[in-house]
Each structure stands twice: as C-alpha cells, then as structure tokens.
Structure 1
Amino acid sequence: MRTRWWALAALCFAELLVMVDNTIVNVALPTMARDLDAGISGLQWIVDTYTLVFAGLLLTGGYLGDRFGHRRMLLSGIAGFAAVSALAASSQTLGQLIAARAGLGLFAALVFPATLAIIVSIFVGSRERAAAVGIWAATSGIAVAIGPVLGGWLLEHYTWASVFWVNLPLAALAVIAIVAVVPGTRPARVSRFDLPGLALSVVGLGLLTYSVIEGPHFGWTDPRTIGGLVVAVVALGLFAWRELTVDHPILNVRLFANRHFATAAAMISVAFFALFGFIFLITQFFQAVKGYGPLEAGLRTVPFAVVMAVFSPVAMALSHRFGPRLVAVAGALLMSGGFALVEVSSRTSGYWELIIWSMSLMAMGLAFISGPCTQVIMDALDPEQAGAGSAVNDTTREIGGTLGVAVLGSVLTSVYTTGVADRLSALGLPQTVSGLAEDSVMAGVEVARQAPATVADPIRIAVQEVFVDGLHGAVWVAVAITSAAALAALILLRGAPRGHRAQPDTEASQLEREVPATA
C-alpha cells in the first residue's frame, strides 16, 4: 500500500521534469531574443518545437512502453532528456537551440505516457485510482507554473543556459527514485508499429503549427500559408483514414466515436491551448510592459500553482459526487472568465488589482477540467490499452499547448507588427528603426532604451500599448474557445458516469501489485 504512494511520488517527479520544460524557457525568452537575435516567430519556435515533437511522438512513446515495458522506457527517456539538455545549454545559435528543443521533446515523449500508464496499472481501486490520477493531473498543471519561477531564479544568477543545465541533477534524482520504488511492468504483446501513420501525423501537426506561426510574417493569404494549412488538413485526414483501415493502428480513432472519450480529450486540449498560450504571452507582458526581472516575473505565476494544487483534489471529489460534466463545464467557464478579465487590462494595470485574479480563475478552471476529464478518458479504456490511452490523453495536452502558443502568439504578432510600425512612423522614426522594433516587444523596448531622451518615453509607451492591444486580441480568441468548450461539455458529457471502471481493491490484488515485475 505505502509502496504504491511512494511510486506515485516518483512518477509525478518524473512528470514534473518534462512538464516544467514546457514553460521554464518562457521567462528566458527576452534574454534569448537579445543573445540569439530572435524575433517573435523565433521565440515561438523555441517554445513550440518542444511541444510539437513531444505531441507528435507521444503515441510512439505509448506504443514502445506497451512493447518493451513502461519503466524501461521511462528510465531511457529520462537519461536521453538529461543528455540533450546539455546540448541545449551549449547552443550558440537559434537553430542549434531549436534543434536541441526538438530532441528534448523526443525523449519527453518516452517519459510522459509511461508515468500515467504505470499509475493506472498499480492503482486499480476506484477511489485510489481517482486520487492518484487527480494528483498526477495536478502535477501537470503545477509544473506549468513552476517553470517560470525556477527559470526566473536561475536567470537572476546565471545565463539562460542554466534553464537546461538544471535538468541534469533533476534527472539523476528521478532515476534514483524510480529505480528504488517504481515496480517494473511486463511488456505486452503488441502488433507491428504503424510507421506510415506516424509519419502522416507528424507531417500534419508540423505543417499546421508551422503555417500558423509563420502566417503573420508570410501573410495569411500568402500561398505558403494557405498551402501549408491545406496540406496539413489533408495529411491529418489521411492519418485518420489510415488509422481506421489498418489492422493495428497507433491511435485507435474509433475511440473518438465514444462521445464521452472524445469530449473529455477535446476539453483537455482546449484547457492547455488556453494555458500555454497565456503563459507565453503573460511572461512577456511582465517583463516588457511591467518591467519585472525574470525572477519577479516567475514569482508572479506562483498563485497559479497554489490554486491548481488546492482545487485539483476538490475537482476530483466534486466529479465523483456530481459527475464530470458539471465540473468540466464550470472549469471552462472559470477559464473563460479569467481570460475575460485580461480584456480590461492596460499597460498600467496592477498585478494585485487585476492580473492575479485572472490567473487564479484560469488555474481553478484548469483544475476542474484536467483531473475529471483525464479520469473519463482512462475509464473508457481497457487495461491493455493503458499505454495508448495515456498517450492519447497526453497528446491532447501537448497538441493543445502547441497550438495555443502558435495561435495566440500569431494573433499577438499580427496586431503588434502592424500597430507598432504605424505608431512609430507617426512619431517620425525612420523605417529602419521601426523595423527593429517589429521583431518583438523586447526589441521595441530596447529601441526605446537606446533612443534619445526626448523620444524614449513616447517610443516605450507606444510599444507597450501596441503589445497590450495584441494581448487583448489574442485573449479574445481564448475567451471564445473556452466558452464554446463549456457549451460543448454541457451537451456532450451528458450521462458521463460518476464512478470509475477500476475495481475495488482486494487483499489478493494488493499483494499481487506489491510484487514488482521484471523491468
């Protein structure tokens, strides 16, 4: 009994390791923009390359865990994650860093699905599994908020490379804990891997993300943008068709015929779409508009983690009592309300007067969606589908997060680049100067810092106000999507069970689980 909970702690720590990397770089983006000469699209790629590869290979990670053992894949993934972190820390150019981030995403895809699959295999009692899944889901959300805090502290004392070096000691601790307390899992007999299906999914997701991120720079009506989006849709359609017709798909698309499964997966995707997009925007707002240092910016995300931790077990208890439908609907509405508060913000808005309340509503909403909807997904699966099912659950998170940074970041870019050019031209600045400011808001702030004293303040105010206009435009998208998700959950999650498929614990099953299998 006690061993299982120690195993849960070790698995959550491994989950924390890879999830923190989703957001730890956000507070370092302004520094990276200066050191690596990166514009807004370059910054988006630093964030999104990780989540894009992570999402694209999660199904592969789940398959490999089913075939070779989840603990074996978990340990291999952590070791590779540490090795590539050293490469990321040593990067000298933007291209090198983006490539290293892709490598981190690859190994994270081995770690993440293994954590949930092992949790589901060692917690079979309904109440214990609900509690364990709730803690796992809470860890995911908390990690998103811990990233900026840890990154901010490191940047106060070291260079941006430290946000990658820190992964090495954390990975070593994770390996020691997993070897000590996590039982091995017996590999399942699985079919031949669907390589064409994997290729189609990666091409589709990659082109979709690329086209959305680069849309503001090419132009939304440019043939490259339209062509990329069309090819992405075709590739994803072919992927779905292949998975329906192949004997052994990597993703059982038929699972999405289950209304509860499909809706829960979509709700998680929407929640992380909004969350990752907002974290990408707000860390730049804190530093470029409010003038906070990296650590100050990171610390201001702490309430998000606290609220998430407090309300995640509450959400699971409410889901068990009233069913996941009402809890998920409430969560989407809370997130929508949190984003709506951002719409009344300005460059002079105070953190304690407005921003903390909007973040708290978003965190509460994420807690109300993440745990209950994860439980709905896992309850729809047979035990032998644990690896694939956890990969589907994880994939929805990462795809949502990837598109959140891409879409909300691109809305911001579209508004900012047009607006700052007009505002700075009106101030009489030459086009070469305004062109520098168009790269990113931090570049605009740097232009103001280097300008003569007579025009420095007008330039800085113009840059900050245009950024806030772009922030408002991006947040409207999040409000619309989360509101639509609330309505969809209200309709489509009708009849979702309050209980769980997991069976009550028996003495025999407890003894059986406490005997570890060979890894």
Structure 2
Amino acid sequence: MSGHTTATGPGGTPADTGPSRLRWLALAVLVLAVLLVGIDVTVLGLAAPFLSEDLRPSSTQLLWIGDVYSFVIAGMLVSMGSLGDRIGRKKLLLTGSVAFGALSVLTAYAHSPEAMILWRALMGVAGATLMPATLALIRNIFPDPRERSLAVGIWGAMTAAGTAVGPVVGGFLLEHYWWGSVFLINLPVMAVLVLVGAKLLPESRNPAPGPWDLPSVGLSMVGLIALVYAVKETAAYGFRWDAAGAAAVGAGALYTFVRRQLRLPAPLLDMRLFAHRGFSGAVLADLLTILGLSGLVFFLSQFLQMVQGRSPFQAGLAELPAAVGSVVAGLCAGWVARRTSVRGAVSGGLAAVGAALGACLWLQPTTSYLLLGGVLLVVGVGAGLAFTVTADVILSTVPREHAGAASAVSETAYELGAALGIALLGSVVTGVYRSFGTPQGVPPDAAEHARQSLGEAVRTADALPAAAGTGLLDAARDSFTEGLRYGAGAGAVVLLAAAFLAWRLLRGQRLEES
C-alpha cells in the first residue's frame, strides 16, 4: 500500500497528508474533539445540583440550562456540515475548537442563570462544528477503505469513551472542586487540538460547492430546533398548545427546507443522498438505536445514585463496561462487517442491545452489579458495532465533496433520536413512577411532592420523621425501578425493530475493499 495519500485541498487541488504515521497522528488530534464533546454531554447533568445552589435558577431556567445546548447543536449540525464542505473542514474545526474553549471558560465562571443559558447556547453553535468536521476529515485523510474503517472505529470508540469518562472525571472534580471545574477540563484538550491540528491536519473542501444558501440555513435551524423543543416540552409537561405550535412550525419549516433543496442547483443538503438505500438505512438505524437506548441511558445514573446509593464518581465507574464494550467493538467492526456482512454486523449488534435491554425487565432496587455490568457490556458491544459500521456506510456511500453534510445528517439523527427517546421512553418511566400510592404515615402533600421526581422524593423524605421518610423513599425507589423496567422493555422492542429494518434496508450493502 502506498505510504502517501491525498485529500482535496483548497480549490479542489490535491493536498498531501504525508506518511502513514502522520495520518494516524492526525486522527489522534481529531478524536480529541469527539472525546471532548462526549465528556461535555455528560458533565452538565452531574453539575446541575451544584450550580443550582450557586446560581439559584428557577425551574424553567434550569431546564433551559440543560436543554439549550442540545437544541442549538441539533439545529446547527446540517448547516455547519455544509459550511465545512464549502470553506474547508480544517478551518471550521479549528475555529470551532477555539470558540468552544473560550465559551467553556465563560460557562465555568457564569455569574447568573441568564449568562449560563447564553454561553451554553453559543457552545452548541461551536459544538456543531466539531463532529461533522472530524468525520468528514477522516473520509479525506483515509482514502483506503480498510484503514478508514479502523479510523472510523477509533473515532466512534473515543465518542463512547468520552461519554463514559465524563461522569468519572466530573464526579471526581465535583467531589473536590467547584462546579465550574467540569467545564475547564475542555481547555487543555482544545489547546492540543488547535496547536497540533494546525500543523498535522490537511485542509479539504468541496472544489465546486456553490453558495451557502442562508434561507436554507434558517429553515433547517428553525425546523430542527422547533421540533426538538416540541418533543422535549411534551415529554416534560404532556400536551401543551405552545409545544403543538412549535411542532407545526418545525414540520412546516422542514417541509419548505426539503422543497427548497430539491430546487437549488447547489443545495445546502443534497436530498438525493437519501435515495441511496444504504445511506437511508444507516441513518434510520442510528436514529432508532439512540431512541431505544435513551430511556435506559437517561435514567440509569439516577438509578445508580438515588436507588442504589452510589456517589456520582461511583456511578460513573459503574457505567464504564458500556464504554469498554463500545471501544472494543468499534475497533473490530470493520473486520467483522467484511468477514460477515454489513447487515449482519448492524442487525446483530442491534439485536444484542435489544436482548440486553430485555434483561432489564428483571431489574430490582437490589439487583447485583454483576447483572447490571453484564447488561452494560453487551449494550456497549452491540451499539459500538452497529454505530461504527453505519458511520462507515454513510461515509463510503456519498461523494467525498459531500462528506461534511452527510456526517452532519448522521449526527442530526443521533440528536433527534435522543430527543425522541427521552420524550417517548422518558414519559413511560415517569408515568409509571408517578403512579405510586401514599405510604402509611406520609402526608398526602408530601407524597405529591415526591411524585414530581426521584430527586424530589429524596429531599422530601429527608424532611419527614425517620419511619415515614423511609417508607416514602422505599415506595419511590420501587416505583422508579418499575418505570425503568417498562422503559427498558419498550427500548428493547424499538431495538429489535431497528435490527429487522437494518436487515431489510442494508441488504446487499458492502464496505469498500482496498
């Protein structure tokens, strides 16, 4: 195999990426960005109780602090992926990295809830530049299909590692330092990424991109943000007219966006990509997988801490088997898909995740970690295998010049899947949880407060006499665990359906050979 590769440089001219070892060093720089995004997704949830004591946000402000990042990043991914195709993915990545680091400092030292919401929103804009740019650069740095499969596996493994390392590092920092420290860990990573990436990463872009259509940018932002907002509000509060209105606005904007893309000579997103069955099947598999997993992932940390009594640091450690399984499976995914088949690898991985979620139907507050750790390991292996192969399929089925936009579609499916999963499966969990009765000796108003959330139940129980508090907490924990069982069962059904659809839609799909 040749020791040199080329990537499309400025204006479409070839850009030498250097010897093989330099390509892998460039990959090491790229995975720093996804490691950081994975960490940032998880640390805010851990820090929320601590910053609440300091900034005193209202309940609405606290929700916006938690949600605005995902709202903005979901709305900006397609636009930023397309922008990278036009101005250069390296330029977009490095610019976004500097902005992400600066905004991390501002977030760490936010002095009010309003400032926190603003900085988190702007972090969403910066974060939207990172994931599509890194995957698109991998598409150009590694033209050899087998090398690219391994590179995509490493990329996916580091995403999973960041999600797992976040609770561990965040839990340690929160036990020793103030809440802002969890955001400052971004700085050294970003510094290395920018300084080394400026030297090692080759520039790549679409040689004939056409203009960046601003009306399309606005339509995609409005459509996706409104849709995600409607889903999350409905999940939190049930049917409300403002959420229904947002859903209507979002659907209308996305419909207009699609119509506009089909008419433009140089669209922001080439809708013809979806005509490729492999591309559409891979994107749909990603969306359904995240949707099915969200019920377990979103509530598992609460179960480990507030039901089984672990500290944030211990809960983070308990979730590590999922990351370990995902890392190992990601590194082997390309080999597995070539030795068996693409649809076999993806469907098998999703079926394994579905079976692991099904095992949670026997979950109890006293369930031993042996079962939980085994479930998480299988979830990690199955999801790592499926996600890595679908990412490889998405990259290999689109022209190189559209790699940024295609990667952004994949990431958008992830964000939408997470929002829908938390809304649909989260509603199952919370609906079951809120159905527990009033234990003997507990005032009805105290029980009503406890039904708002498991965290509220813990606080309410602390204020009651010992016997009544214990009875309330036991009832709340049992009910929460029952809700988690129902949510995991529903997730298992979704994952098994995703496995079936992947088997049908990815029929005949193959990874490229050298």
TM-score (structure 2 length as normaliser): 0.89
Code of the residue aligned with 1:271 in structure 2: it is T
Q: Does 1:357 align with 2:374?
A: yes
Moved more, 450-459 or 33-42: 33-42
The equivalent position to 1:265 in structure 2, one of 283, 290, 301, is: 283
For 1:253 and 1:427, locate their aligned partners in 2 and report how far apart those are by CA, in whole Å.
Answer: 61
Code of the residue aligned with 1:471 in structure 2: it is L
**Counterpart position of 1:309:** 327
Q: Is the 8 A contact 1:52 1:399 kept in 2?
A: no
Instruction: Look up the SS of the partner of 1:402 in the other structure.
Output: helix
Identity over aligned residues, as a percent?
36
**Counterpart position of 2:74:** 55
Deviation readout 1:243-299 (Å, 9 max, x if unpaired): 223332222222111111101011122223344543321111111111111111111
Q: Is the 8 A contact 2:326 2:385 kept in 1?
A: no
Q: Does 1:419 align with 2:435?
A: yes
Q: Is the 8 A contact 2:223 2:253 kept in 1?
A: yes
1:93-242 matched pairs, under 5 angstroms: 93-185=112-204, 188-220=207-239, 222-242=240-260
Deviation readout 1:327-363 (Å, 9 max, x if unpaired): 00011111111211222112221222x2111111110
Code of the residue aligned with 2:263 in structure 1: it is T
Q: Is the 8 A contact 1:151 1:163 kept in 2?
A: yes
For 1:29 and 1:351, locate their aligned partners in 2 and report how far apart those are by CA, in whole Å.
Answer: 26
Code of the residue aligned with 2:211 in structure 1: it is R
Q: Does 1:247 align with 2:262?
A: no
Code of the residue aligned with 1:100 in structure 2: it is W
**Counterpart position of 2:417:** 400
Moved more, 153-162 or 261-270: 153-162
Instruction: Look up the SS of the partner of 1:188 in the other structure.
Output: coil
Rate the CA distance shift 1:62–1:308 in 2: closer, same or farther, 3 A. Answer: same
- Measured after TM superposition, the shift of residue 3 of structure 1 is 0.6
Q: Does 1:442 align with 2:442?
A: no
Q: Does 1:344 align with 2:362?
A: yes
For 1:465 and 1:247, locate their aligned partners in 2 and report how far apart those are by CA, in whole Å.
Answer: 58
Aligned positions, number: 495
1:312-331 matched pairs, under 5 angstroms: 312-331=330-349
For 1:409 and 1:34, locate their aligned partners in 2 and report how far apart those are by CA, in whole Å.
Answer: 26
Moved more, 139-148 or 331-340: 139-148
For 2:112 and 2:443, locate their aligned partners in 1 and report how far apart those are by CA, in whole Å.
Answer: 30
Q: Is the 8 A contact 2:146 2:512 kept in 1?
A: no
- Measured after TM superposition, the shift of residue 107 of structure 1 is 0.3
For 2:257 and 2:206, locate their aligned partners in 1 and report how far apart those are by CA, in whole Å.
Answer: 27
Gaps of 5+ in 2: 1-19
- Measured after TM superposition, the shift of residue 406 of structure 1 is 3.7
For 1:54 and 1:239, locate their aligned partners in 2 and report how far apart those are by CA, in whole Å.
Answer: 18
Q: Is the 8 A contact 2:295 2:484 kept in 1?
A: no
Instruction: Look up the SS of the partner of 1:291 in the other structure.
Output: coil
Gaps of 5+ in 1: 505-519
1:266-281 matched pairs, under 5 angstroms: 266-281=284-299
Q: Is the 8 A contact 2:231 2:419 kept in 1?
A: no
Code of the residue aligned with 1:253 in structure 2: it is M
Q: Does 1:453 align with 2:472?
A: no
The equivalent position to 1:289 in structure 2, one of 307, 312, 317, is: 307
TM-score (structure 1 length as normaliser): 0.88
Rate the CA distance shift 1:286–1:364 in 2: closer, same or farther, 3 A. Answer: same
Rate the CA distance shift 1:480–1:93 in 2: closer, same or farther, 3 A. Answer: farther
Instruction: Look up the SS of the partner of 2:508 in the other structure.
Output: coil
Q: Is the 8 A contact 2:325 2:379 kept in 1?
A: no
Rate the CA distance shift 1:137–1:375 in 2: closer, same or farther, 3 A. Answer: same
For 1:455 and 1:4, locate their aligned partners in 2 and report how far apart those are by CA, in whole Å.
Answer: 63
The CA RMSD measured in Å over matched residues stands at 2.4
Rate the CA distance shift 1:112–1:25 in 2: closer, same or farther, 3 A. Answer: same
For 2:361 and 2:59, locate their aligned partners in 1 and report how far apart those are by CA, in whole Å.
Answer: 22
**Counterpart position of 2:486:** 473
Rate the CA distance shift 1:223–1:114 in 2: closer, same or farther, 3 A. Answer: closer
For 2:58 and 2:366, locate their aligned partners in 1 and report how far apart those are by CA, in whole Å.
Answer: 25
Moved more, 76-85 or 232-241: 232-241
Instruction: Look up the SS of the partner of 2:310 in the other structure.
Output: coil
Q: Is the 8 A contact 2:40 2:166 kept in 1?
A: yes
